[in-house]
Structure 1
């Protein structure tokens, strides 16, 4: 699967997807963003159980502002509507593969229970 471009309308739909979502926040003038793009695209072909998406921070300033993007490239990973990763900087192919595998192996029931506990709700 290749990467998809997200906008104001499609961003929430992508987070709500059944598949985990990896978002690359980038801009055309950003050298590290351009260098990271082939790595991100190659990972999208390899890890078809994830949705890979890009947000052009110049064109989608509302999203970038709402998520407090201060440096690019920034990667965010969502799974079951939970943001699990948010970090600026390009990753190597092996670092990105390792991160994807870590997200894949997470016990999301436990994470949801922790979140519910933080919200003052009883754990399920």
Structure 2
């Protein structure tokens, strides 16, 4: 069963490319001190376990300032969707699971 992987500034680009697998990548920016993330993380993990056609990666916002700056993350939680290494969508805040599912490609 797929799990959410950890992504860092050092391997961010590699994860986005997924070495040619062609899978979309959903990146979840979070922080352990942020109350909304404590409720939102289980939702993202559920998606990671259910969707084998995408890669779900978590990036701790404090530990990955380059990615936060590069993608203009202004608040957490934030999820960004990438296809072919390019950002194609995103959501800010602890949105309902259905909102994230609408962002993702149809199965």
TM-score by length of 1: 0.76
SS in 1 for 2:32: coil
Residue of 34, 39, 42 corresponding to 1:38: 42
SS in 2 for 1:77: strand
SS in 2 for 1:24: strand
More helix by share: 1
SS in 2 for 1:12: helix
CA shift, 1:10, in A, is: 1.5
Larger RCO, structures 1/2 (Cα 8 Å, 6+ apart): 2
Question: Which residue matches 2:66?
Answer: 62
CA shift, 1:87, in A, is: 2.6
CA shift, 1:90, in A, is: 1.7
TM-align CA RMSD: 1.4
Question: Which residue matches 1:12?
Answer: 13
User: Any gaps of 5 or more consecutive residues in structure 1?
Assistant: 106-124
Q: Summarize the alignment of residues 1-124 of structure 1 with structure 2, pairs less than 5 Å apart.
A: 1-17=2-18, 18-100=22-104, 103-104=105-106
Q: Distance in 1 between matches of 2:58 and 2:47?
A: 13
CA shift, 1:104, in A, is: 3.9
Q: Which has the larger radius of gyration?
A: 1
CA shift, 1:48, in A, is: 0.8
CA shift, 1:39, in A, is: 0.5
User: Any gaps of 5 or more consecutive residues in structure 2?
Assistant: none
Q: Distance in 1 between matches of 2:68 and 2:40?
A: 18
